Structure 1
Amino acid sequence: MNSGPYLNRRALMGRTAAAGLFTVPAVSALTSCASGGGDDDSVEREESTDANPFGVSADAELEVVIFDGGFGDQYALDAEKIYQGSYGTVEHVKTTEIQTRLQPRMVQGDPPDVIDNSGADAMDIAALIRNEQVLDLTELLDAPSLDDPGVTVRETLMPGTIEMGQFGSDAVYRLSYAFIVYGQWYSRTALNRLEVEYPRTWDEMLAVCEKAKQQGMAGWTYAGQYPYYFNFTLYPFIGKIGGADVLRAIDNLEPNAWRHDAVKAAFEAYYELTARGYVLQGSPGLTHEESQDEWNKYNALFIPNGSWVENEARKNTPADFDMAVGPPTSLDSSDAMPFETLWASASEPFIIPADAPNVPGGLEFLRIMLGRESARNFTELVSSLSCVRGAADGLELPPGLSSAQETLAAAGDNIVIPRLPDWYRQLNNEEIGGAVAAMMAGEIEPDEAINRCQQAADATAQDDSIQKFQHV
């Protein structure tokens, strides 16, 4: 544990919140309350050098909060050891309750220095930006990289990483550390047992699911309690059918964007899975982990997910499972984009609060994480690509990650990156997710689900309290 006034202040705040002396505000409260405006414990910068471009104080302590989800926290602990080799000690916190635990501190102006703002309880990044509570990371991107001072951090990143941190301006407010391949995850062993190939068209998908059903196996399962997981395949499916412009219109909250023919075709195709009994019974009530467990038990062929699933489901994955991922199955030959099209983007977003006591240390910690040693360690530990170019080259990868890398390479430039999930978190997770969930549970039909999505998007567009973003 750390010592001194720096830790005492933070420890007091943590204990006070835990004791219930702080009331956790709702998301709307955060959007209406600006930060407290800093404190007297802020660490001042020392003179910048080639080895210390941000002027981190030699004994500057750091507080890092990590989302304890599919990636765990060991990769962060390892990066913290590197930081401590040159600077002060690190107070490490892991939690699944990011918003619950940190939102009060953000409002009070007493945040940690680095936050892995991820998971179902992540803070609304748009609200943080609007209230000037999160730091622009351009200084980090323009700094020399850890491994080669002649190359900037910006130049080491995978395509799309910087864009995922931008919200309608050139400023970059978050660093998404993992590079995720979203798609239809499956077991090669399961398909081989059925003697079928990965379905490339929707007719082939229905035929594969029917064969599975005849042998007592469901075609699909999903995280019904977190229905936005379905969007990991549904959004790129829509883009594949109608083109990337359809997704851009949805992101931009354009009138009737959800009523595009591509959306209708995608919803009707997914609804057919439910109507024909190809979805595992009970899926609407499953958590993400429970749905993955059913999939690991060979009770379902496909699950919509991201490439963190291999690590998250590792303890329950059979040795013979041979995990793999494919792009969303195409509708038919009339699709606007090729079969290989998929959603792949930087994820697992890290932010530095604007009121962080040790901003230089936070920037240096992220620079360390973007170094080759930390990036390779991340891939080896959690079976996920990082946002650092070439960091996984030469590594022996597990089957799921190897498949993700192959699927990403096959896609080439045919990558779609929906921004609705991070521009309008509540709209995506609750309204859109809720409409899709009701449809997949058989409670409503596709037309009603589409109407709900469009009505929710229109309400968001008309709500002046919600900051709007546009593709540029």
Structure 2
Amino acid sequence: MSEPSESVPGIADLSRRNMLRGIGLTAMIAVPGAGVLSACATGGGSDNSSGQAPANTGSAANPFGVKEDAPLEVVIFKGGLGDSYATDVHEPAYKKKFPKADVKHVATQKIAQTLQPRFASGDVPDVVANSGSDLMDNSALQTEGQLLDLTPLFDAASIDDPSKKVKDTLVPGAYDAGILAGKPFLLKYVYTAYGLWYDKNLFAKNSWTAPKTFDEFKALCDKMKSAGLVPYGYAGSNASYYQYWMILISAAKIGGNQVLVDVDNLADGVWKSDPVLKSAQAWAEIGKLYMDKSHEGLKHTEVQLQQNQGKVGLYPSGSWLENEQKKDTPSSFEYAMTPTPSVTAADKMPFAAIRAAAGEVYFVSAKGKNTAGGLEYLRIMLSKEGAKGFTEKSGNITVVKGATEGLTLSPGNKSVAAAQVAAGDNVVTDNRLEDWYKELEKELRSQTNALMFGRQSAEQFCENMQKKADATKADSSITKQHRDK
């Protein structure tokens, strides 16, 4: 599964112990005679202990001055995107450029569990795909100096057109999505659209039409229920964020993107505002009438499999879903995506508006042994060849402009492309709290389940979320972030 970034609050005066707790470390590694902070700062034998990016050499071919025989280690989250894009495309491209270099590949679904002992000792990999439900906290890592500033990468010459900077070859918003504390520490590589997913063939067979309003949504759910399907479902065990995306998207459609900006900026009273309350009320009704309570104990792949088997009608997710389920999707099933329905006739954004954002975090470790190689690896990823190869292997589109030219898109991606065209400039912004405030995001997951599985009202949901947001804002130990749009 390709999942969104989760984050623990970045804490300005974190000790090494607190930072490692922040990224999920449960067993501390002690170094006799040294403080926990200095133990990591001096560990790992990095040739770049200052955490500063290599200077740009001015060479279009090798702008970061990569040593041709320097080893490179890449750790990849192996979820819905798989890892063949790394093993079959990006790593071979790097190896072709630096044939004397040994490229080590590590694939895991447990990023924090795999890497937390290494960050404790200072023996860190060079490139990390930080994703999944067990990812590390990007904000805390940045606060502790573990992330390399990627400014030299984005200012370097593009592989495809040396007259252009890398950042000028990306779709709008991709560069800004990776900014922490005013600098681009993250590369968000996958351009993802979010909405409600269904089987196009099943809909055609039953003469069902994707709903444009919540009234149509409920009428369709009634038809699905009569046909023996669970009309709407998501997995409460590990993917409740799939559903809180829908709640926030609907809130933005009702009140405009400023609602989501205010959520991220911890604005006073935003969770109790009319757009958020109306959205929560609308979705709570869907949960009450049309969901299966047993889904709260299931994992995402289990609910997704039920949809592939014709048991679930509509499912909220991002555009990685089709690729993630390809092994379990029968030939009779054809994925399609529709935007979230309009809640009111007075919504500020039209039905066609979709949430489309850069996602899937990649970073270079500031204390890695080959930071120059890490930057070059990401530059290869951001070439058209690297991006096309990623789409072919993962079934997902990247943030690189024009990289899908000449590719045959899957039914799901064709649906996404059509939705993006229909949306035009009506794009729901992404939320940054997933990267910025881990404990707030965790609370949102819990409150979303309580709302959707009928344990609390929309008013209680809004009240509880506002209390947690207020507590986050008042906690001086949590580094605050800010966005203007």
Same fold (TM over 0.5): yes
Partner of 2:72: 62
Q: Is the 8 A contact 1:45 1:57 kept in 2?
A: no
Q: 1:467 to 1:417 in 2, by over 3 A?
A: same
> Given the superposition, is the C-alpha separation of residues 295 and 365 from structure 1 closer, same or farther in structure 2, using an over 3 Å criterion?
same
Contact kept in structure 2, 1:187 and 1:322, CA below 8 Å: yes
Alignment match of 2:210 (pick from 198, 204, 209):
198
Q: Distance in 2 between matches of 1:37 and 1:326?
A: 51
Amino acid in structure 2 at the alignment position of 1:56: V
Residue 252 of structure 1 pairs with residue 257 of structure 2: no
- Structure-2 change in CA distance of 1:392 and 1:46 (3 Å): closer
In the alignment, structure 1 residue 102 sits paired with structure 2 residue 134:
no
Are residues 370 and 322 of structure 1, via their aligned partners in 2, closer, same or farther at CA, if it must alter by over 3 Å?
A: same
**Equivalent position to 1:391, from 403, 411, 423:** 403
Give runs of aligned pairs for residues 454-469 of structure 1, distance below 5 A.
Answer: 454-469=466-481
Q: 1:402 aligns with which of 398, 414, 423?
A: 414
- Deviation of 1:133 (Å): 1.2
* Residue 51 of structure 2: aligned partner: none
Question: Partners of 1:47 and 1:201 in 2: how far apart?
Answer: 55
Q: Partner residue of 1:7?
A: none
**Which whole-Å CA distance do the structure 2 matches of 1:393 and 1:332 have between them?**
38
Deviation at 1:42, TM superposition (A): 2.3
Q: 1:151 aligns with which of 140, 164, 168?
A: 164
Mapped to 2, the partners of 1:335 and 1:36 lie a distance apart of 51
Per-residue deviation at 1:23? 13
Q: Find the aligned partners of 2:343 and 2:19 in 1 and give their Cα distance.
A: 45
One-letter amino acid of the structure 2 residue matched with residue 42 of structure 1: D
1:383 deviates by 1.4
* Unmatched 5+ stretches in structure 1: 1-21
Matching residue's letter, 2:66 = V
The equivalent position to 2:21 in structure 1, one of 10, 21, 26, is: 26
2:28 is matched with none
Q: What corresponds to 2:31 in structure 1?
A: none
- Decide whether aligned partners of structure 1 residues 111 and 260 sit closer, same or farther in structure 2, where only a CA change above 3 A counts: same
Residue 188 of structure 2 contacts residue 361 of structure 2 at CA under 8 Å; is this kept in 1? yes
C-alpha distance in 1, partners of 2:319/2:245? 11
Q: Provide structure 2 residue ranges, at least 5 long, that are not aligned to the other structure.
A: 1-16, 26-35, 49-53
1:38: how far off? Answer: 5.9
Are the aligned partners of 1:376 and 1:391 in contact in 2 as well (CA < 8 Å)? yes
Cα-to-partner distance string for 1:66-99 (whole Å, 9 max, x where unaligned) = 0011101110112111111122010100011111
Matched, 1:49 2:59: yes
Give the letter for the 2:22 counterpart. V
What is the DSSP-based 3-state SS (H/G/I as helix, E as strand, rest coil) of the residue aligned with 2:327? helix
Letter in 2 for 1:148: D
- After the TM superposition, which residues 5-404 of structure 1 pair with which residues of structure 2 at under 5 Å, given as runs? 25-27=20-22, 33=37, 35-37=40-42, 39-42=44-47, 49-77=59-87, 78-87=89-98, 88-169=101-182, 171-225=183-237, 226-276=239-289, 278-404=290-416
Write the deviation string for residues 27-65 of structure 1: whole angstroms up to 9, x where unpaired: 1787x9574146545279896633111100011110000
Instruction: Out of 181-190 and 113-122, give the one that drifted further.
Output: 181-190
- Seen in structure 2, the aligned counterparts of structure 1 residues 230 and 46 have a Cα distance that, compared at 3 Å, is closer
Instruction: Kindly indicate whether structure 1 or structure 2 has the higher relative contact order, using CA contacts under 8 Å at least 6 residues apart.
Output: 2
Identity, in percent, stands at: 39
- The CA deviation at 1:282 is 1.4
Task: Tell me the SS of whatever aligns to 2:61.
Answer: coil
Structure 1 residues 95, 241: closer, same or farther in 2, change over 3 A?
A: same
Distance 1:29 1:280, change over 3 A: closer
Aligned-pair RMSD on alpha carbons?
2.1
| Distance (Å, rounded) in 2 between the aligned partners of 1:71 and 1:138 | 26
DSSP-derived class of the 2:146 partner: coil
Query: TM-score, normalization: structure 2?
Result: 0.88
Closer, same or farther: CA 33–401 of 1 in aligned 2, 3 Å: farther
**Secondary structure of the structure 1 residue equivalent to 2:307:** helix
CA distance in 1, matches of 2:174, 2:351: 24
- The structure-2 alpha-carbon separation of the partners of 1:450 and 1:201, relative to structure 1 and needing over 3 Å to count, comes to same
Q: Secondary structure at the match of 2:80?
A: coil
- Counterpart of 2:95, as a letter, is Q
> For residues 136-176 of structure 1, what are the alpha-carbon distances to aligned partners after superposition, in whole Å with 9 as ceiling and x for unaligned?
1010001111111111111111111111111241x100101
| C-alpha separation in 2, matches of 1:122 and 1:55 | 30
The change in CA–CA distance for 1:23 and 1:341 in structure 2 (over 3 A counts) is closer
Asked if the contact 2:19–2:140 (Cα under 8 Å) also holds between the matched residues in 1, the reply is no
Shift of residue 190, structure 1, vs aligned partner = 2.2
SS at match of 1:386: coil
**Which one is further off, 98-107 or 461-470?**
98-107
Change (3 A) 1:312 1:263: same
Task: Tell me how far 1:281 sits from its aligned partner.
Answer: 4.3
Partner of 1:5: none
Q: 1:240 to 1:41 in 2, by over 3 A?
A: closer
Give 1:25 deviation, angstroms: 4.5
- Counterpart for residue 438 of structure 1: 450
State how far apart, in whole Å, the 2-side matches of 1:409 and 1:194 are. Answer: 27
SS at match of 2:481: coil
Contact 1:33 1:131 in 2 (8 A): no
